[in-house]
Amino acid sequence: MSVRIRLKRFGTKKRPYYRIVVADSQTPRDGRVLDEVGLYHPIEKDEEKQIVVKEDKVKKWLENGAQPSDTVKRLLNKKNIFVK
C-alpha cells in the first residue's frame, strides 16, 4: 500500500477549495482518506488564510513514508515545510 499526500476537491463550479489529505494511492480523488492535514483555498486573497497546514501531522506522515503529489509538495515548500 502506497500512501500519498494529495488534494481532495470541494466547493462549487469555478469556486473550488481543497483539503490536503493522506490517502492510499489507489483510492479515487474524492474517496476515503486516512487523515486530513490541511486546507488550500486558491481564491482567497489573504496569503495567511490561503494555505493552512497542520505541520506536526504532515511531518509524521512524511517520516512514515508518505509521498506528496507535485502540487502538495509546492504548497508545503511555500509554508517552509521542505520536502525533498
Q: How many domains does the chain have?
A: 1
Domain housing 20 = 3-75
Tell which residue, 66, 69, 60, has the closest CA to residue 8.
69
Reduce the DSSP state of residue 66 to 3 states and report it. Answer: coil
How distant, in Å, are the alpha carbons of 27, 28, 35, 36, 69 from that of 32?
7, 8, 9, 11, 17
Domain membership of residue 80 (yes or no) is no
Assign residue 14 a region: left if phi > 0, alpha if psi is -120 to 50, beta otherwise? left
0.85 cut: is pTM over it?
yes
Q: 24: domain CATH number? A: 3.30.1320.10
Domain membership of residue 83 (yes or no) is no
pLDDT by residue for the chain (84 residues), tens only, comes to 689 999 999 999 999 999 999 999 999 988 899 999 999 999 988 888 899 999 999 999 999 999 999 999 999 999 888 776
Q: Do the beta carbons of residue 17 and residue 42 sit within 8 Å?
A: yes
